[in-house]
Structure 1
Amino acid sequence: MTSKQNGKQRVCFMLQVKPDRLEEYRLRHAAVWPDMIEALQRTGWHNYSLFLTPRGELIGYLETDNFQLAQKQMRDEPVNARWQSEMKDFFVETDGKDPDQLMSPLDEVFHID
């Protein structure tokens, strides 16, 4: 479930990074490919942040007009296929899915501006 504020959906999700891959995961995200960033922006991923706990819980937050559409448009981006292929092995229990297919929005229970 997502919530809407000023016509934008606010989306938060969690994934689990393998504990032995945390440092490499951090390094990869310190140098995200410019064409990946451009694709995210072009497909409606705004105010996008990832937070990583010491135990490997990855919390993502973004704002978009339509999360399902933004996900679909990213799946159509060739750079995303390359990125997801490289990131897949960082995550616990993917069942063969790319990490972006595992994003399941969390329920927002409180918000204040």
Structure 2
Amino acid sequence: MSKIAFKMKLKPGYKQEYQKRHSEIWPELVSLLSASGISDYSIFLDEETNSLFAVQQQSGQSSQDLGKTEVVQKWWAYMADIMETNPDNSPISVPLTPVFHLD
């Protein structure tokens, strides 16, 4: 199991919509994440910068590596109007380097 973190960017004014969509996350997406070894997945918002900070445990691939699946492509398209995205609708995602951990 490893822990990874990455950041993404929310468009201004979309905090409530982002929270709403994630509170209604599709069961098939949750199943895919779980089956791919992703767990303990949290996303935090820095409201000052609209930066999203995500952290997840993984025993396989990252959620950002599942973009070839149909459900992830649909989710990206669903979220593209409220996030900064690449041309394929994937969120612009920047891996973060761990610099400290306290057990």
Q: Tell me which of 86, 95, 105 is aligned to 2:78.
A: 86
Percent identity among equivalent residues? 29
Counterpart of 1:111, as a letter, is H
Q: CA deviation at 1:65?
A: 2.3
DSSP 3-state at the match of 1:81: helix
Does structure 2 retain, via aligned residues, the 8 Å contact 1:11–1:67?
no
* Runs ≥4 residues deviating over 4 A: none
Consecutive unaligned residues of structure 1, counting only runs of 5 or more, are: 1-7
DSSP 3-state at the match of 1:46: strand
Q: As a proportion of its length, which structure holds more helix?
A: 1
Q: So what's the TM-score if we normalise by structure 1?
A: 0.78
Which residue of structure 2 lines up, in the alignment, with residue 27 of structure 1? Answer: 20
Q: So what's the TM-score if we normalise by structure 2?
A: 0.84
Matched pairs, number: 101
- Say if 2:58 is the partner of 1:64: yes
Which residue of structure 2 lines up, in the alignment, with residue 10 of structure 1? Answer: 3
Decide whether aligned partners of structure 1 residues 82 and 95 sit closer, same or farther in structure 2, where only a CA change above 3 A counts.
closer
Counterpart of 2:83, as a letter, is F
Counterpart of 1:12, as a letter, is A
